[in-house]
Amino acid sequence: MVSIECMVTTIQISEKTKEELFLIKSRLELATGRKFTLEEAIKWLIAKERRGTAIDRKKISAELFGIASSIGVTLSDVSELRRERSSRFESL
């Protein structure tokens, strides 16, 4: 026998937010051809935010590395500096 516990939580949102969430849910259903629950729509929004955050981090990292390359610093220079600092810290 399998026992599954499910916690249900009620959240309060404004009517405007509810309408927008239903709109997103409807768009997902149209795009995929299957029914979505509101929870699935919320999970999709969370996943979309996380993907966007990862892309932003890569973009920022590329911009920072671009700055470093313009002053003549390479990735191996940065790695070497980190190794030196780590060994100094470990010797303390």
Judged against a pLDDT cut of 70, whether residue 16 lies above it is answered with yes
pLDDT of res. 60: 66
Could you tell me where the DSSP H helices lie in 1-92?
Answer: 15-32, 38-70, 75-91
Structure tokens at 2: 């399998």
**How far apart, in whole angstroms, are the C-alpha atoms of residue 28 and residue 40?**
10
The pLDDT tens digits for 42-92 are: 999 988 888 777 667 666 666 666 655 555 666 677 677 778 877 766 666
**How far apart, in whole angstroms, are the C-alpha atoms of residue 31 and residue 15?**
24
Judged against a pLDDT cut of 70, whether residue 20 lies above it is answered with yes
Nearest CA to 41 out of 28, 53, 31, 32 is that of 28
pLDDT of res. 23: 94
Judged against a pLDDT cut of 80, whether residue 2 lies above it is answered with no
Cβ neighbours for 74, distance < 8 A, ≥ 6 positions apart: 68
